[in-house]
Amino acid sequence: MRCPFCSYLEDKVVDSRLSDDGGNIRRRRECLSCNRRFTTYEVVEEKPLMVVKRDGRREPFSRAKLHAGIARAFEKRPVATQEIENLVERTSGELRSQYEKEAPSAKIGELVMKSLARMDPVAYVRFASVYRQFTDITEFEEEVARLKKDGTD
């Protein structure tokens, strides 16, 4: 590691710690030339996951976009912010474990809807209406009927 102060290439690690989330390692280093200390972070390099859209376009998976869609479905609903974060984290993790390079957008939507149906029926219908591109009230009614039927089994 190059020293940020004198550019010398050799140092020693003084201390190593895992971050709170366990996603990276913080290392305190000391330059063997100028003896100044500096901090580096080691993170796992993740391969970018691409989302294959309905029309065949591909775009990088965006955790922020997933979060925004789920948060919009829960708008003005009695759900804790942490529950939304947990759902985003579970969905992201499941996608990365199932798909190495490309995930169909349909699979992402289905994963989210499956979780929303268990968590909050109103959020589920909101999300489904956008995801399935409802065009009239009949489609809403059919989805609500399907949700009621599945909930009583």
Helices (H), 40-80: 63-73
pLDDT at 117: 84
- Helix 137-152 vs helix 105-119: crossing angle, to nearest 10: 60
pTM for the whole structure: 0.62
pLDDT at 152: 47
Distance from chain centroid for Cα 61 = 9
pLDDT in tens, the chain (153 residues): 899 999 999 999 999 998 776 778 999 999 999 999 999 988 776 778 899 998 999 999 998 999 999 999 999 988 888 899 999 989 988 998 899 899 999 899 889 988 988 888 889 888 887 777 777 777 767 777 777 777 644
N-terminal to C-terminal alpha carbon distance within the chain: 60
Domains of the chain, residue spans: 11-43, 50-152
pLDDT at 151: 63
